A and B are shown apart, each in its own frame.
Chain A
Amino acid sequence: MADRLIELAARIERQPWNRPGTDKTWVLSALSEHQKWLRAVKRAKRVSPR
């Protein structure tokens, strides 16, 4: 892997929001909300234009 990508990963891991023990529940909440949004878009596409 390119050194710059390894360095980038290390820099990201060192960010304060990535300290071990940080509450990351939001990641899964956001994923769930994204799915709800996709389902809503799908439903909207089924609505007849008339």
Chain B
Amino acid sequence: MSAPASAFEVGLAALATAGVDFVLVGVGGINFYARDPAHAIATLDVDVLLAPRVANLRAALHTLSRSGFRFESGGEPFLDIDDDSALAIIIDRAATLCAQHPSAAQLDLMVAITGFSYAELASDAIRFEVAGSTVPVGRLAKLLRSKELSGRPKDLAFLRSFEAQAEEDEGE
């Protein structure tokens, strides 16, 4: 008997099935390239880059809401999922919405990422299967480059660690 699907799987499969335009990025996206769980990097959430359009953001929020997710923006509950003007502000400000599930699964819904537009990431994304649905994941070099361009110390430390670990894995 297989284990019940996690809220991560349910949420991402629901987005794919609903036709929401998105691509996975960040460490959660980078983990899709790992050989197995032993080679994955610990993280607490999955970054979902949405095509920055009001209708697409609204569709994502409705889809995840039906899967049991609730939303936060800047630490406050975000309830305006039907308010197009509020959604337009999210896009204009390139704000991130946190989609949280009671199981503690968290999807960070982003409409912008450092260094690449949505179109640039989506155009050559690799499509993997998740819980029977097809999920696009940004190309590994672009995800790493985005971290480099962010210039944040934690991202630069991540890159050094990733490179060292990957080269060690290649030697196995």
Which bucket holds chain A's interface residue count? Answer: 20 to 34
Cα–Cα, bound, A23→B43 (Å) = 20
Residue interface bits B134-163, CB-to-A below 8 A is 1, else 0: 110101110011001000000000010001
Question: Interface residue count for B (Cβ, 8 Å)?
Answer: 43
Interface of B toward A, CB cutoff 8 Å: 3, 5-9, 12, 28, 31-37, 40, 42-44, 46, 103-105, 126-131, 134-135, 137, 139-141, 144-145, 148, 159, 163, 166-167, 170
Residues of A within 8 A of B43 (CB): 31
Contact at A26–B148, with CB atoms within 8 Å?
A: no
Residues of B within 8 A of A6 (CB): 141
**A49 within 8 Å of B (CB atoms):** no
Cα–Cα, bound, A29→B128 (Å) = 15
Known contacts A31-B43, A32-B103: does B145 contact A1 (CB below 8 Å)? Answer: yes
Contact at B130–A32, with CB atoms within 8 Å?
A: no
Distance (Å) between the CB of A28 and the closest chain B CB?
4
Residues of A within 8 A of B126 (CB): 13, 18, 20
**A22 within 8 Å of B (CB atoms):** yes
Residues of B within 8 A of A9 (CB): 139-141, 144
Residues of A within 8 A of B42 (CB): 34
Contact at B128–A12, with CB atoms within 8 Å?
A: no
Q: Which residue of B lies closest to A23 (CB)?
A: B129
Residues of A within 8 A of B35 (CB): 15, 17
A27's partner among B7, B34, B159, B167 (CB-CB below 8 A) is B34
Distance (Å) between the CB of B46 and the closest chain A CB?
7
Distance (Å) between the CB of B156 and the closest chain A CB?
11
Q: Which residue of B lies closest to A30 (CB)?
A: B37
Known contacts A35-B105, A39-B104: does B163 contact A27 (CB below 8 Å)? Answer: no
Contact at A28–B128, with CB atoms within 8 Å?
A: no
Contact at B141–A21, with CB atoms within 8 Å?
A: no
Residue interface bits A7-50, CB-to-B below 8 A is 1, else 0: 01111110101101111111111111011001100000000000
Q: Which residue of B lies closest to A34 (CB)?
A: B42
